[in-house]
Amino acid sequence: MFNHLFSAIYQFMTRNISSHGAGPTVVVIILTCFVVLAAVQYPLVFPWLQSFFPPGSSALGVQPGSQTASPLAHIHDMQKIEFGDGSNRQRARLRVLKQLIKTKGWERDTSHPRRRLLAALMGFLEYREKMEEGVQRKRSGWAKLSVRQKEFMSTVPYAEKLEKTSALIRENDILAHKIIDYGLSYYDLTFTELLSFRSAHKNDTRPVSDHTSVVQSLKHIIRDWSTSGSHERDVTFPQILTTLKKFYPDAAGRGNKKILVPGAGLGRLSYEIAAMGFETIANEYSFYQSLAHLWMISIPNSTPRDSFTLYPFINWWSHQRTTASLLRGVVFPDTLLSPPALERLSLIDGDFTTAFYAEFGTYDVVVTLFFIDTARNIVDYLDKIHAVLKPGGVWINLGPLLYGTGPWVEPSLNEVLAIAERVGFELVPTEEKWGADTFVDVEQWRGKVRGAFAGYSWDQDSLSRNAYQAQFWVATKKM
Ligand SMILES: C[S@@+](CC[C@H](N)C(=O)[O-])C[C@H]1O[C@@H](n2cnc3c(N)ncnc32)[C@H](O)[C@@H]1O
Confidence category of residue 87, pLDDT binned at 50, 70, 90: confident
pLDDT at residue number 465 = 86
What's the gap in Å between 355 CA and the centre of ligand 1? 14
234 Cβ below 6 A of ligand 1: no
pLDDT of residue 134: 98
**Among protein residues, the one whose CA lies closest to atom 4 of ligand 1:** 265
Confidence of residue 7 (pLDDT cuts 50, 70, 90): low
Q: How far apart are the first and last CA of the chain?
A: 50
Work out the average pLDDT over 78-89: 55
What pLDDT, on a 0 to 100 scale, did the predictor assign at position 41?
A: 45
**What residues are paired with 452 via a beta bridge?**
470
The answer, yes or no, to whether any atom of ligand 1 lies below 6 A from the CB of 298, is: no
267 Cβ inside 6 Å of ligand 1: no
Q: 420-437 pLDDT, tens per residue?
A: 999 999 999 999 999 999
Does any ligand 1 atom lie closer than 6 A to the CB of residue 223?
A: yes
Q: Which residue has the higher pLDDT, 49 or 163?
A: 163
349 in ligand 1 pocket by Cβ < 6 Å? no
For the Cβ of 232 lying below 6 angstroms from any atom of ligand 1, the answer is: no
- Lowest mean pLDDT of 81-90, 184-193, 254-263, 305-314, name the range: 81-90
User: What percent of the chain lies above the pLDDT cut of 70?
Assistant: 82
More reliable by pLDDT, 65 or 363: 363
Q: What is the pLDDT of residue 364?
A: 98
pLDDT for res 466: 83
What pLDDT does 8 receive? Answer: 63
pLDDT at 301 over 80: yes
pLDDT of 298 over the 60 cut: yes
Encode pLDDT of 15-62 as tens digits.
Answer: 554 444 445 555 555 565 555 554 444 433 433 343 333 333 333 223
pLDDT at 69 over 80: no
CB 178 within 8 A of CB 62: no
Cβ neighbour number for residue 221 with a 10 Å cutoff: 25
289 lines ligand 1 (CB under 6 A): yes
Q: For 261-268, what is the mean pLDDT?
A: 98
pLDDT for the residue numbered 200: 95
The pLDDT of 143-169, averaged and rounded, is 96
Q: Is the CB of 473 under 6 A from ligand 1?
A: no
Mean pLDDT (whole number) for 394-410: 97
Average of per-residue pLDDT values in the chain: 88
pLDDT at position 405? 87
Q: Is 233 in the pocket of ligand 1 (CB under 6 A)?
A: no
> Tell me: the pLDDT tens digits for 210-242?
999 999 999 999 999 999 999 999 999 999 999
How many Å apart are CA 270 and CA 275, to the nearest integer? 9
What is the number of the ligand 1 atom nearest to the C-alpha of 286? 25
Asked if pLDDT for residue 72 goes beyond 60, the answer is: no
This prediction has a pTM of 0.86
**Nearest ligand 1 atom, CA 371:** 10
Span from the CA of 53 to the centroid of ligand 1 (angstroms): 39
| pLDDT at residue 172, rounded to an integer | 98
